[in-house]
Chain A
Amino acid sequence: MIAIVKYNAGNIYSVYCACQRLGYEPVITDDVATLQSADKVIFPGVGDARAAMDYLNQVGLSSVIRGLKQPVLGICVGMQLLCRHSEEGDVDCLGVFDAPVEKFRPTDPSFKVPQMGWNTVQSLRSPLFADVAEQSYVYYVHSYRVPVCADTIAQTDYCGAYSAALHRDNFYATQFHPEKSGSVGEQILKNFLAL
């Protein structure tokens, strides 16, 4: 069973639809027992990091997510919440990945923030990217990013290289939206669901 974490963030339905297109029937839930017993957990997110963390702390989901043992996939803000701290609202996050979340600070004004659109992933090193070619395009919408760190398994370049994806133990995460990244994104989701 695939569980999608239900909380006060957007794009949950899109993630649900993407799993369905791959033949899975996920459940969208905030029930602790269901989350803990799921085969895979997807932690999506669009929105504000501080508002999301406040909510997760308030309903007691922070420690539940941090303690999950099965493969977990954080997406976009979901990935950022799995990091140590976010500059967005200056908030402490779940700390699975020992990396900060920082705002894009373009030195060249031709770089627009948010980064919105399709950019390439490279330096792919994870089963998450099985059958995904270097320089494949994926879809991004974000104003904050995680620098390249020990857990980086894919990189993208926008005002410099940053982490396109992270992996530590059973936790995986992508800054881009696999559920919106056409056939490339479908392959990445398929890889995660097959872990």
Chain B
Amino acid sequence: MLAKRIIPCLDVKDGTTVKGVQFVNFRNAGDPVALGKQYSEMGADELVYLDITASFEGRKTFTDLVRRIAAEVSIPFTVGGGIHELSDVERLLAAGADKVSVNSSALRRPELITEIATRFGVQECVCAIDARCEEDGHWRCYLNGGRVPTERGLFEWAHEAQERGAGEILFTSMNHDGSKQGFAIEALGRLHDELSIPIIASGGAGCKEDFLNVFEQAHVDAALAASVFHFGEIPMAELKQYLADHGVNVRQTVKR
């Protein structure tokens, strides 16, 4: 049976991991390659690296980094941030990334998804969506890491992304992100039910039960988190064991 995936997300700036990664007894927390290897050994199913560098020089550093990750990490990884056109995708895939994640640039120019899918295949393109549930219950998509509201609704945009050839939807609920109160179960469940491509849940993970709930209730294919992993609050192997004990099909690599 296809396993539910657990995906740590790493923010990278100028070639270094940011967001204060604090593993116990782990000295290389700032090195995205060492960190990725560590996560892979702990049983992560996939990794997401987000480039939050703004400068042109930083982009080149990130490409070099992608090449080093590909050389040393033996599980799939997705890269995102700063992907505006097909040549960005080409450069990152050639450097060894397995998938690219597009967000604001696809909202601004939806044809980008079509172009990536046509040129590289649907499996290469993850459509990341940041959305907030407004007071009237409408889920609105945001640009630029949640800073700029758009006229797009979450479900409408997710459907269009699928039609255009996105291979997965990575949905981050801005209402839940950073709250550590659990994922946006209802919206995620609706995405899962309405779409035929895999859904990755993001935003709100605080404890192991949150992962269990999102898999059991929203039936998503994967769950992504950052700080709970980076700060060692939820050890990967322990999370996998917990999910397995509760009947969720997960891949366990670390024998306990």
Number of residues in B with C-beta < 8 Å to the partner?
33
Query: CB within 8 Å of A: which residues of B?
Result: 1-3, 5, 40, 45-46, 70-72, 74-76, 93-96, 98, 120-124, 167-168, 196-198, 219, 221-222, 251, 253
Instruction: Give the residue of B40, B74, B93, B122 whose beta carbon is less than 8 angstroms from that of A114.
Output: B122
0 or 1 for each of A80-117: is its CB under 8 Å from B? (1 = yes): 00000000000000000000000000000110111111
CA distance A86 to B253 in the complex (A): 34
Interface-centre pick from B1, B70, B74, B221 (highest chain A CB count, 10 A): B74
Q: What secondary structure prevails in chain B residues at the interface with A?
A: loop
Q: Does A123 contact B (CB under 8 A)?
A: no
User: Across the interface, which residues of B come within 8 angstroms of A18, CB to CB?
Assistant: 74
Looking at A6-14, A56-64, A65-73, A160-168, the stretch in contact with chain B turns out to be A6-14
Residue of A nearest to B99 (CB): A141
Known: A109-B196, A117-B5, A137-B251. A14 touches B221 (CB 8 A): no
Interface residues of A in 138-152 (CB under 8 A from B): 139-143
Interface size class of A (residues with CB under 8 A): 35 or more
Instruction: Give the residue of A13, A114, A139, A177 whose beta carbon is less than 8 angstroms from that of B167.
Output: A114
Query: CB within 8 Å of B: which residues of A?
Result: 10-11, 13-14, 17-18, 20-21, 46-48, 109-110, 112-120, 137, 139-143, 157-158, 177, 179-183, 185-186
CA distance A119 to B123 in the complex (A): 16
Knowing that A21-B71, A117-B222, A119-B1 touch, tell me 11 more A-B residue pairs with CB under 8 angstroms: A11-B98, A13-B70, A46-B121, A48-B121, A113-B196, A118-B251, A137-B251, A179-B74, A181-B74, A182-B40, A182-B75
